[in-house]
Structure 1
Amino acid sequence: MVVVKSPILRHIRRKPLQFVAPVVTLILVLYLIVGRSSGKTKGKYSYKSRSKGLFSRPRDVIPRNLPNDHISHYDLNKLASTPMAAYNQERVLILSPMSRFYDEYWANLLKLTYPRELIELGFIVPRTADGDVALKKLEKAVKLVQSPRNSKEAKFAKITILRQDNESLQSQKEKDRHALSVQKERRANMALARNSLLFTTIGPYTSWVLWLDADIVETPNTLIQDLAGHDKPVISANCYQRYFDDEKKEDSIRPYDFNNWVESDEGLRIASTMSDDDIIVEGYHDIATYRPLMAHFYDPNGDVNTEMQLDGVGGAAVMVKADVHRDGAMFPSFPFYHLIETEGFAKMAKRLGYEVFGLPNYLVFHFNE
């Protein structure tokens, strides 16, 4: 047998660390490179994942659902409000100021066909006797829907209930709350409540905000998809009311919300004569503005998708792209161009460059006391 003694082997035997150290260093470098390139995209509003390599650190954007993360990053430039909201899995925030709880309102809400896991609900309840009763009923209804026994698809993504921190009218009877003499006070309080509800609940993932009054007891089941499908910054349904016609001895319908309107020359003239603290309240004979009211444009044989441009809106069922609110359109609790609350919101949205629309043939129905 012939044995060849290599000088390299002799060197390794004499000084093994000089050979092992470079090899370990090479393996470590390769591990770091592979670990840092293993990030994946996860979720619509999440981006590069945290590096898994040794001594790694978070990327510039940290994904939302990883454990041990203390900072969440959202890119609002990637947030969209599209006419295919359900298909694109866009989050919808339904907001309802609630002075009374109506079983019909809640039943109608549960019939909406938009995926519940994409819906958040927000309520604000006044600190009145009626509000206390409404709160108890609301909490009971919420617990049934959000029960751990229900599937994820049967539950809403999130529900927030606020107690109003400003004054509210003690009487919520229809004749009392609609009296002209209390409109400025009532609507100023309502504006504060709406703003509190909005600013507390809107999130960086919210694409749409649906304002749905808590006394709206009947809407199409596809309300969210229908309103979003028009792809408008602000769009309002036409609010009517069912009642029994004593003269005709039959069930009938009548206009209810007169806050969806188009500005008129007379309305502008009246505003020009007012002091800074005065407001115009639409739908009252005492102030004849002769504004075209969307409630009077309903055609039972017309296309439900017919649109008309508006200058004022009510709050019965109004879909708003979330960016409109993020850009600063809120509900003024003070006279804003002699308008207040929802009508003031429409004016503010238009001043920000957004168009406001209504659907005269698309009806939602108000509770009939």
Structure 2
Amino acid sequence: MARPMGPVRLRRTNYLTLAIGAVLCLFILYFLLQSGSDAPNPTSQNPNRPPIRKPTSKSSLIGERPPVRRFNLNNVTITTDPIGNREAVLILTPMARFYQEYWDNLLKLNYPHELISLGFILPKNKEGNAATTALQAQITKTQKGPLKDRFRSIVIERQDFDPPLVSQDEAERHKMENQKARRASMSRARNSLLFTALGVDTSWVLWLDSDIVETPPTLIQDLAAHDKALIVPNCYQRYTDPDTGKPAERPYDFNSWQDSQTAQQIATKMGPDDILLEGYSEMATYRALMAYMAESEDKKDLEVNLDGVGGTALLVKADVHRDGAMFPPFPFYHLIETEGFAKMAKRLGWQAVGLPNYKVYHYNE
């Protein structure tokens, strides 16, 4: 028997809800239509609107250069004809003072300047600031001058450590008791400059002191023609003889030498942090100094093997530095800075060579 159904209630239509819904629909429809009318029209000729650019797959952050660059160092030539083979040269100069004669001599180098990059490192002190200002003035003048004088690139670095000596006076610099701290600081400066400026396409590195004011214009190609891993000319100094009043010259750099048994015996009695120094009567090493090997200018190509080198004008194959040879700021076989560099290079299989009759000249203070 069927069960009787309960009462059925009819729900009244809420006209207020319908009205609100209709208004919302109309508002949404109006908003969509209005947005469509404001959208840029690709066919519009309105000059005030920029054209629509199609999206590209390249990111604007990457630009045209690919994110990965590959270099084959086997393609970097280091030859006896660096100009003919368009080999890049990096000239590195630690600088405490600026000498105009240094810069003038640099400009006289007839190696193509578009193949030469320059690197400088200067201390953060009063003298370093003055030298930086003078250097930047000459760089600006040169790089805005004739194309033949402009260099490929220039890096100026400021030391992030204080120099050990307040004064750069020559007598103060050469005191024996100042040598270890001074040359350790020089090593740090050289290494910092080298690691910053050495390029992937650099063939040769020329270390040129800021007080070298006279060299042959053909210095780079002359030294490279010997095809030696490390090669150094003889550094002299021009002066006026006080007795005769005539121009004269004298040896200046005593850091290029051939080792002696006496020096080796002195080293065996030294502590681990002691260093051998050249040119001081208190430490007679009896090494054969290239400074005193000069004979005749007619024999400029005469070569001698060296165990230590100076850094006044030192040409190095970039591969020597890439192999890991740097300037030890610590006693390395009781040697430091450029002399330690020659020892480190030799341990890596590279022989240093000197040219006793090929001269460059130091500023006469």
Do both share a fold (TM > 0.5)? yes
Q: Partner of 1:99 in structure 2?
A: 96
Give TM-score, length-normalised by structure 2: 0.82
In structure 1, how many angstroms separate the alpha carbons of the residues matched to 2:252 and 2:105?
19
Q: Partner of 2:161 in structure 1?
A: 166
In structure 2, how many angstroms separate the alpha carbons of the residues matched to 1:138 and 1:249?
34
Q: Partner of 1:111 in structure 2?
A: 108
In 2, are the aligned partners of 1:307 and 1:360 still within 8 Å (CA)? yes
| Residue 348 of structure 1, CA deviation | 0.2
Aligned pairs for 1:1-20 (under 5 A) are: none
SS of structure 1 residue aligned to 2:138:
helix
Q: Partner of 1:279 in structure 2?
A: 275
In structure 1, how many angstroms separate the alpha carbons of the residues matched to 2:244 and 2:221?
36
In structure 2, how many angstroms separate the alpha carbons of the residues matched to 1:267 and 1:338?
10
In structure 1, how many angstroms separate the alpha carbons of the residues matched to 2:225 and 2:210?
23
| Residue 302 of structure 1, CA deviation | 4.1
Percent identity, aligned pairs only? 56
Are residues 1:250 and 2:258 paired?
A: no
| Residue 184 of structure 1, CA deviation | 0.2
Amino acid at match of 2:77: A
Q: Partner of 1:130 in structure 2?
A: 127
| Residue 283 of structure 1, CA deviation | 1.1
Are residues 1:70 and 2:64 paired?
A: no
1:293-351 Cα offsets, whole Å, 9 max, x none, are: 00000113441000000000011000000000000000000000000000000000000
In 1, are the aligned partners of 2:297 and 2:358 still within 8 Å (CA)? no
In 2, are the aligned partners of 1:105 and 1:214 still within 8 Å (CA)? yes
Aligned pairs for 1:80-99 (under 5 A) are: 80-99=77-96
1:20-72 Cα offsets, whole Å, 9 max, x none, are: xxxxxxxxxxxxxxxxxxxxxxxxxxxxxxxxxxxxx9xxxxxxxx9432221
Are residues 1:238 and 2:234 paired?
A: yes
| Residue 128 of structure 1, CA deviation | 1.6
From 350, 353, 357, the equivalent of 1:357 is 353
SS of structure 1 residue aligned to 2:316:
strand
In 2, are the aligned partners of 1:233 and 1:354 still within 8 Å (CA)? yes
Amino acid at match of 1:297: M
Amino acid at match of 1:205: D
In 2, are the aligned partners of 1:166 and 1:192 still within 8 Å (CA)? no
Amino acid at match of 2:205: V
In structure 2, how many angstroms separate the alpha carbons of the residues matched to 1:150 and 1:305?
33
| Residue 249 of structure 1, CA deviation | 2.0
List, as ranges, runs of 4+ consecutive aligned residues in structure 1 with deviation greater than 6 Å: none
In 1, are the aligned partners of 2:183 and 2:337 still within 8 Å (CA)? yes
Amino acid at match of 1:95: L
Structure 1 spans left out of the alignment, 5+ residues: 1-56, 58-65
SS of structure 1 residue aligned to 2:239:
strand
From 175, 179, 182, the equivalent of 2:178 is 182
SS of structure 2 residue aligned to 1:286:
helix
The alignment's C-alpha RMSD in Å is: 1.6
Give TM-score, length-normalised by structure 1: 0.81
Amino acid at match of 2:193: L
In structure 1, how many angstroms separate the alpha carbons of the residues matched to 2:87 and 2:353?
21
SS of structure 1 residue aligned to 2:299:
coil
Amino acid at match of 2:236: Y
Q: Partner of 1:304 in structure 2?
A: 300
Q: Partner of 1:217 in structure 2?
A: 213
| Residue 116 of structure 1, CA deviation | 0.3
In structure 2, how many angstroms separate the alpha carbons of the residues matched to 1:177 and 1:128?
16
In structure 2, how many angstroms separate the alpha carbons of the residues matched to 1:68 and 1:166?
36
Look at both structures and tell me which one has the larger radius of gyration over its CA atoms.
2
In structure 1, how many angstroms separate the alpha carbons of the residues matched to 2:348 and 2:162?
30
Q: How many residues align?
A: 305
